[in-house]
Amino acid sequence: MALFNFRRKDDAADAQPLEAFLAGYSIEVMPRTAEKIESFRALLPLGTRVYVAHIEGTPIEDMVATAKRIGAEGYAVMPHFPARIIKDRATLADWVARYKDVGVRQALLLAGGVTTPHGDYATSMQLLESGAFDGFDRLHVAGHPEGNRDIDPDGSDKMVMEAAHWKSAFSERTDAQMAMATQFCFEAQPVIDWVNRLEAEGIKLPVHIGIAGPAKLQTLIKFAIACGVGPSLRVLQKRAMDVTKLLLPYAPTEVLAALAAHKAANPGFGIEQVHFFPLGGIKTNAEWVTENGGASGVPANA
C-alpha cells in the first residue's frame, strides 16, 4: 500500500507542470464540426478561446453564425481571416463588420492555404496594415517552428523569420494584444530551439504552440503531410513502424510533458499557451485535456 501511495504522489508531482502548461488552452473548430457539438459548455471551460477555421469555400454566413453561437455560450471567439481568399477591401470590411455585429473582437490573420491569391491580399501583414482591425482587442498571426515551404521553397526560414520580425514590430505600435499561433508539431526540442531563437533575435510575440489533439495515427500522418509539418513528423513515422502501436490512438502527452517541464524550469520561456487542433474530434480532445488537468479556464492575462 505504501508503494502504491508513493507512486500516486510521484504521478501528481509529474502532472503539475503539465496542468499549469495547459491552463487557458485554446481549441479550433470549423462550422461543420461545431454543428455536431450539442453544447460546448459540456466540453470546454467557460471563457476558452475558440478559433473558427475558415476553409476556402465556407460561406461567410456560416462562419458568422458559428461565431455567434459559440460566443453566446460564453466563449472568446477568434475567427480566421485567410488573406488569399479575401477578394478585396470591400469584402474584408464586410466580413469584419459582420463579426463585430455578433460581438467578435479577436482574429487570427494568416496568408491561407491557397497558392494563388484570389484578390488584393496575399499576406497577413497586408491585413494588419489595412486598418480593418482597428478596435479589435486581440490579433494573432501564424508561426512556423519547422519552417514553411510555401513561404521559403528553398527549405530555409529566411522569409518566415523576416515576417516574424515585421509582425513583432507591428505589435509594439498597436493597442491590440498579439501572439503567434503556430502550426502543430510532434517533438519538443525543435519547438524549444525555435522559441529560444525568437527571443535571441528580439521577436517579442508570445507563442501559442500548436498541438494536434488525440487521434488515430493514420489521421495525424495524413494531416501532417498535407499541412507541411517538418522534421517532427518523424515521431509519427517511427511510431507507425511499430506494429504494436500502429493501431493505438496517438495522444500528445509526451510532447506536452516535455514542453511543460521546460517551461517550469524556465518560467520566462516564450510559450504562453497551448492551442489544440482537434484532429480526432473536439469531444475527444476536450476530454483528454480535462483528464490531464486542463480544465482551469482562461488565465487573467489572456
Cα 170 to chain centroid, rounded: 20
pLDDT for res 41: 95
Cα 75 to chain centroid, rounded: 16
Read off the pTM. 0.86
**Is pLDDT larger for residue 222 or for residue 13?**
222
* End-to-end C-alpha distance for the chain, whole angstroms: 43
Distance, in Å, from the CA atom of 100 to the CA atom of 177, rounded to the nearest integer, reads: 17
Distance, in Å, from the CA atom of 186 to the CA atom of 276, rounded to the nearest integer, reads: 12
The rounded percent of the chain whose pLDDT value lies above 90 is 65
Distances (CA, A) of 247 to 75, 218, 240, 243: 35, 9, 9, 8
Distance, in Å, from the CA atom of 5 to the CA atom of 12, rounded to the nearest integer, reads: 11
What mean pLDDT do residues 104-117 have? Answer: 90
What mean pLDDT do residues 233-239 have? Answer: 58
Q: What is the DSSP letter of 92?
A: H
Largest pairwise CA distance in the chain: 69
pLDDT for res 6: 35
pLDDT for res 113: 74
* CB-side neighbour CA atoms (13 Å) of 211: 33
Distance, in Å, from the CA atom of 88 to the CA atom of 271, rounded to the nearest integer, reads: 34
Distances (CA, A) of 18 to 74, 92, 155, 291: 25, 39, 33, 11
The DSSP annotation for 35-91 comes to TT-S-GGGTS-TT-EEEE---TT--HHHHHHHHHHHHHTT-EEEEEEEGGG--SHHH
Summarised one tens digit per residue, pLDDT across range 43-76 is 999 999 999 999 889 999 999 999 999 999 999 9
Q: What are phi and psi of 153, to 5 degrees?
A: -60, -20
Torsional class of 176: left (φ above 0), alpha (ψ -120 to 50), beta (otherwise): beta
What is the number of other CB atoms lying within 10 angstroms of the CB of residue 203?
21
* Residue 85 cell numbers, joined: 481568399
pLDDT for res 184: 83
Q: What is the DSSP letter of 152?
A: -
The DSSP annotation for 214-230 comes to SB-HHHHHHHHHHTT--
Summarised one tens digit per residue, pLDDT across range 148-158 is 556 645 555 67
Distance, in Å, from the CA atom of 72 to the CA atom of 43, rounded to the nearest integer, reads: 15
* CATH, domain range 19-291: 3.20.20.220
**Is pLDDT larger for residue 158 or for residue 170?**
170
pLDDT for res 193: 93
pLDDT at residue 265 tops 80: yes
* Residue 295 cell numbers, joined: 480544465
What mean pLDDT do residues 136-165 have? Answer: 76
Distance, in Å, from the CA atom of 193 to the CA atom of 203, rounded to the nearest integer, reads: 14
